[in-house]
Amino acid sequence: MSGRFLLDNEFAFSSVVLACDLDTAREYGEIKNALREKGRLIPEIIIISFN
């Protein structure tokens, strides 16, 4: 088992998963775009849907 796998598992088990509806996604997009326009990029997030 690689160190990378252990690190990813530690991150996954210590993370909190929040629900995200369409309104939340739109708000996130607006904030992210406003920051991008100011040159203050934020990291991409991983969005997984289990619908």
Instruction: For the chain, 51 residues long, give each residue's pLDDT as a single digit of tens.
Output: 455 555 567 767 777 777 788 998 899 889 889 999 999 988 776 655 554
Specify the pLDDT at position 4: 53
Asked, for residue 3, whether it belongs to a domain, the answer is no
1 vs 3: CA distance, rounded Å:
7
**Residue 39 belongs to domain spanning:** 20-51
41 vs 51: CA distance, rounded Å:
29
Asked, for residue 7, whether it belongs to a domain, the answer is no
Specify the pLDDT at position 38: 96
16 vs 39: CA distance, rounded Å:
28
Specify the pLDDT at position 28: 86
Specify the pLDDT at position 10: 72
For the chain, how many structural domains are there in total?
A: 1
Asked, for residue 45, whether it belongs to a domain, the answer is yes
Asked, for residue 28, whether it belongs to a domain, the answer is yes
